Structure 1
Amino acid sequence: METLLAPPDCRYFAAGLCRSCTFIETPIAAQQASKQQRCAELLPGVPEAAWLPPVPGGVAGFRNRAKLAVGGRAGAVTLGILDRGGMGVDLTDCLIHEPAIQSVIPILAAFANDLQIAPYSVPKRAGELKYIHVTVSPAGELMVRFVVRSDHGLALIRRQVDTLRELLPQAAVISVNLLPEHKAVLEGEREEPLLGSALAMELGEGLEPITLYLRPQSFFQTNTTVALALYEQAAAWVDSVDPASLWDLYCGVGGFALFTARSATGAARDVLGVELSEQAIRSAERSASEASIPARFLAGDATAFALAAAPAELPELVVVNPPRRGIGETLADWLEASGIRHVIYSSCNPESLARDLERMPSLSVRSARLFDMFPHTGHLEVAVLLERS
């Protein structure tokens, strides 16, 4: 991830071809100040002194995942976005992707052209190849996923997978996702693996890094450097209150649970992660086993799990990292009434965070931090440490 301070010179933005990075012409410091102000306005109950300095997300080369919409025609595809009319806009040289992703986009375009596979046309509701998703690990390995309409597209790619492996020796995972429906989503439910099963994301330096394993349909933050800073901040907050037990609700592949399980004092800490995805739970269990971290993981609905717990089973601290909609009224009300002393809430949507905090008046913000996970956009990550009054 580049550490430049000046905005990058994006020819796509200048030409009006892509406006995804809405604020790319605004200096990064001004972007972060605007986001900080927005958080302060939405969370007026947070004392100014509680805000830690924002964590920067970079200016260019920071995004670890490319979601490339396929346009054009068979033999002459575009990889990038679709315009308002559903036509492809090629963004081969997009500056926000990590260099390892930028370097393989032309290779993937050439591969798709050689396949003579028809890009899916949104206006015509016809064609085959919809998206190519590429994720890069800190070690430079790749996960490459093709989203197609039918088994015909799957068969075309499967027949040429050895060629693709030669073109991309750094690919650890190759898969095909089937999305037969005509709807505005990035993937379907069915995933067909062609190579490997999980991308290893080694995070942290020193003697005890933690490796998280991303399967093709797993969630992971799009900015690896900021994701690590987020996990490390949560670990520091947990160490500051030193709970004997902790739940990580919406744990995904286990990032918060694994980074907070190691107590700075050396005392044993009972950690349990809960996540709906069974694949994510298997990944978290693998990470825990390899790192010799005695964290436990359970596949299930986080809210249902919490509501079913007996009072004697409740932890001293809960971490929640919900989707954009937030934890919702039911879980917020449960946390308010639970008596649990500390909560860490990591949110990608300060609006839903503000709504949830209003339902938990007994929990006040002790510390807060903005993480600029999504530079050049209005999106952000904000985390707070809550303490019961």
Structure 2
Amino acid sequence: MTSAVSEPKLDWTDRVLELDVGPVAHGGHCVARHEGRVVFVRHALPGERVLAVVVEDGGGGFCRADAVAVREAAPGRVPAPCVWARAGGCGGCDFQHADPALQRELKAAVLAEQLRRLAGIERAVEVEELPGGALGWRHRVRLAVDEHGQPGLRAHRSHDVLPIVDCPIAPAGALPPVLERRFAPGGEVEVVVDAHGVVHAGGGPAVQRAAGREWLLSPGVFWQVHPALPDALASVVAEWADAPAGGAAWDLYGGVGLFAAVLAGQVGPDGEVVVVESSARAVADGRAALADLQQVGWHVGRVERVLPELDGRPDVVVADPPRRGLGRELVDALCDRGPDRVVHVACDPAALARDLALFTAGGYRLAELRAFDAFPMTHHFESVALLTRG
């Protein structure tokens, strides 16, 4: 009896394909099809015809490719301002070849598609521009360090460190002096430009301001990378949370207390704001910054662990979870507590849509939605959703 001969594994790696590019997809690429397979194409735009080289192929129903030549360009295509924003280049920027207005349209299309597909929500969305333009906005950059101690940025989906001399989405003049230095091989260096314009590379407390307050942040403590985003988010939280005087509010994944400061002003000295944050350093910095707000209480620990220990029913919950979102366990727990409103801040549209579907099943509805282009030139953006009961 002869054994069956297995089919050779399909592998298009390094193959050059001529593709008609379809819609944008979540993740910084567009969707094309070739010989019955899906091809995720970077550096292309919907409606274009491109030549693309396959850079990754697992042998299944899809592969990944980089556009290397444009046969028919789409309206809104522009020259990339950085030489590393190309096939085989940096993994940080996905849309430098698109006009900033078109970038926001692409992101809005992704958000609408994720809401429709994962949450069954049909909603027209807009991704709003933040002040400052598409370049020079990134005030926090994490550099990788190669085996020789040279800092740089990683290539797309790779551990290779590119020998850049600057980055156009970082503030002018911030990175070159750091890139000329040498650091411990194989490590990382976080470069922060603070509210005074001071550049911190791997150490020293940084001053940040938002919502009319000031924080002195320890190295590594989270703060938004776009300088206009904290105030934008704080403004939305202030409008939508509407915490009653003397009421109770929870700030989950609260960081250094940006939203807690807003909520404390609403509940007043007779109310209560509970902050839950897993980073002890962030809580220490937050306690110091909000020391005058005695109605703010702090809990250090994972939200999943701390939430069951919290007493009572909050009037409003503000949640700013990591990229994976809240998930079923936490959404179910929040629905059981029954706050009047939940303000959900999200940096991933798919995770947000999944959470919204869970909240809908738990008796909440999507009342408001806004999105901000807090990461120009990349596929990332920030969304805020208001959920109300009934």
* 1:285 aligned to which of 274, 283, 287: 287
Shift of 1:15: 8.2
Distance 1:72 1:314 in 2: 53
TM-score normalised to the size of structure 1?
0.71
- Matched residue of 1:134: which SS? strand
Q: Give yes or no for contact 2:325–2:352 (8 Å, CA) kept in 1.
A: yes
Matched, 1:215 2:218: yes
Aligned to 1:199: 206
List per-residue Cα deviations over 1:322-363 (Å, max 9, x = no partner): 111111211111122222111000011121122222222211
Shift of 1:316: 0.4
- Matched residue of 1:359: which SS? helix
Aligned to 1:94: 167
Aligned to 1:261: 264
List per-residue Cα deviations over 1:120-142 (Å, max 9, x = no partner): 4xxxxxxxxx3222111121123
Cα distance change, pair 297–82 in 1 and its aligned pair in 2 (3 A): same
Cα distance change, pair 367–84 in 1 and its aligned pair in 2 (3 A): closer
Aligned to 1:229: 232
* 1:106 aligned to which of 176, 192, 195: 176
**Runs of 5+ in structure 2 lacking a partner?**
1-77
Q: Give yes or no for contact 2:249–2:315 (8 Å, CA) kept in 1.
A: yes
Counting only pairs closer than 5 Å after superposition, residues 1-389 of structure 1 correspond to structure 2 as 9-13=81-85, 17-44=89-116, 48=123, 54-56=128-130, 58-71=133-146, 73=148, 77=150, 79-82=152-155, 87-99=160-172, 103-112=173-182, 119-120=185-186, 130-145=187-202, 174=203, 196=204, 198-204=205-211, 209-239=212-242, 244-263=247-266, 268-289=270-291, 292=293, 294-310=295-311, 313-361=312-360, 362-389=363-390
- Which structure has the higher relative contact order (CA within 8 Å, separation 6+)? 1
Cα distance change, pair 286–347 in 1 and its aligned pair in 2 (3 A): same
Cα distance change, pair 241–33 in 1 and its aligned pair in 2 (3 A): farther
Shift of 1:241: 7.2
Distance 2:200 2:103 in 1: 31
Distance 1:15 1:356 in 2: 34
Cα distance change, pair 349–309 in 1 and its aligned pair in 2 (3 A): same
After superposing the two structures, state which structure 1 stretch, 56-65 or 325-334, moved more: 56-65
Cα distance change, pair 144–78 in 1 and its aligned pair in 2 (3 A): closer
Shift of 1:48: 4.0
Distance 2:278 2:241 in 1: 24
**Runs of 5+ in structure 1 lacking a partner?**
1-5, 121-129, 146-173, 175-195
Q: Greater CA radius of gyration, 1 or 2?
A: 2
Distance 2:201 2:178 in 1: 9
Shift of 1:83: 7.2
Aligned-residue identity in percent: 30
Shift of 1:298: 1.6
Distance 1:31 1:138 in 2: 27
